[in-house]
Amino acid sequence: MPASQFGQKLRTLREAKGLTLEKLAALAGTSKASIRALEQKPLVDKWKPDKMAKIAEVLGVSEEFLRAESPEFLSGDDAVFLNRYRNASPEVRRKLSAILAVLEGK
């Protein structure tokens, strides 16, 4: 993934969760400077997998989603919702589809 896309995704997800650099760093067990560096000029491949996994966990997404290159990057709440949907059980997915059908008048 291009570094700028990763940094944008990280920042968007952080802001969607209402987290400051300081708060994300504290929850992920790293420094504010490290999070800022990841957002501005990330060296994703140099990060330890456990640190990246912890950041993803705090943001409510999978590490794979965080690292994945997305042809169309969703922002904020949309990205968090889509990731939660992807990780949901088949039963939860069926319920969400039923809710959407009602809301769309189908």
Across all residues in the chain, what is the average pLDDT? 82
pLDDT interval class at 7 (50, 70, 90): confident
Q: Domains in the chain, ordered, with CATH?
A: 3-103 (1.10.260.40)
Q: Which of 40, 43, 38 lies closest to 25, judged by CA?
A: 38
Cβ–Cβ under 8 Å, residues 41 and 10: no
State the Rg of the chain over Cα: 15
Note the pLDDT tens digit of each residue in 30-71.
Answer: 999 989 988 887 666 667 778 889 999 999 888 888 877 664
What pLDDT was estimated at residue 71? Answer: 47
Sign of CA dihedral 81, 39, 46, 70: positive
What pLDDT was estimated at residue 8? Answer: 83
Tokens 């319920």, residue located:
95
pTM higher than the cut 0.85? no
CA 91 to each of CA 24, 55, 61, 99: distance values in angstroms, whole numbers, following the listed order: 32, 28, 20, 13
